[in-house]
Homo-oligomer: A and B are copies of this chain.
Amino acid sequence: MKRIDLVHTIKQKGNFLCVGLDSDLTKIPDHLRNDPNPILRFNKAIIDATHPYCVSYKINTAFYEALGADGWKIMEETLNYIPKTHFTIADAKRGDIGNTSNMYAKAFFETLSFDAVTLAPYMGKDSIAPFFEYPGKWGIVLALTSNPGSADYEQRTLDNKPLFEHVIQTTASFTTPENAMFVIGATKATELAQIRTVIPNHFLLVPGVGAQGGSLEDVAKYGMNADCGLLINASRSIIYASSGIDFAEKAALEAKTMAQEMASLLSLYAG
């Protein structure tokens, strides 16, 4: 999906919500467990219920790989079920030497037809470069994450700047705001103002609102630009809003509540 279409969808729907499908057999409602394909059934119900209130879905590959080859099949079927109007993200955190990253890019952009894949930058520029060679596809590079371990390396200073800022600058130097986004955790909202001085135009994928405790309002206040420039992900707080037979209804309600707050924030900060 091209940037212009993503921005159009966000403005038209009035939200920038990404629903994370971290679907776990041990957490989905009991009554689905006897289904021949419980995770797929769960995902379809969540997508049916939430798609009016979001612009994107993020599939966390770990949860599908834990089911082996069957899990990859479920990932594929889930991806194919998501309406073409929605921006699709493989949250896979890949990155390797060039010839291997070529294969990962093929896996997520050709074999599967995701719009974007998240990337781990530790091995440097050439380890993520192959993902930026697909027109209309996106690499979303880990910069500053919301977990405690972000203090171990990401936030450490080298040459007067935190490592994550080096990652942002190096990546921005060989990609464009049309094919690169960055992951910035919602619990780091105050760093967003500084990050916006470095990359005013890029989209940011922001996890950590919801179960991890980040503030939606702060993220919008410090991170939004004229094109919105934000995709805010919520996973557990939406998909596990209820463990009863009303799980899809409650997920929709949760998504709708977030979408409504986002509509106000859009008119406040990206008006």
Contacts and interface: CB of A to CB of B under 8 A. Distances in A.
Nearest to A155: B124
A207 to B, nearest CB: 8
A28 interface: no
A15 interface: no
A68 B65 CA distance: 11
A179 interface: no
Contacts of A154: 122-124
A13 interface: no
Contacts of A8: none
Counting chain B CB atoms within 10 Å of each CB, the highest count among A122, A152, A159 belongs to: A122
Contacts of A72: 65, 68-69, 71-72
A145 B154 CA distance: 18
A107 to B, nearest CB: 4
Interface in A98-121: 98-101, 103-104, 106-108, 110-112, 120-121
When all copies of this chain in the complex are counted, the total is 2
A152 to B, nearest CB: 3
A88 interface: no
Nearest to A99: B22
A132 to B, nearest CB: 14
A170 B154 CA distance: 13
Interface stretch (A89-97, A224-232, A250-258): A89-97
Given A62-B103, A124-B147, 7 more contacts: A71-B111, A93-B94, A124-B149, A124-B150, A127-B145, A153-B167, A158-B163
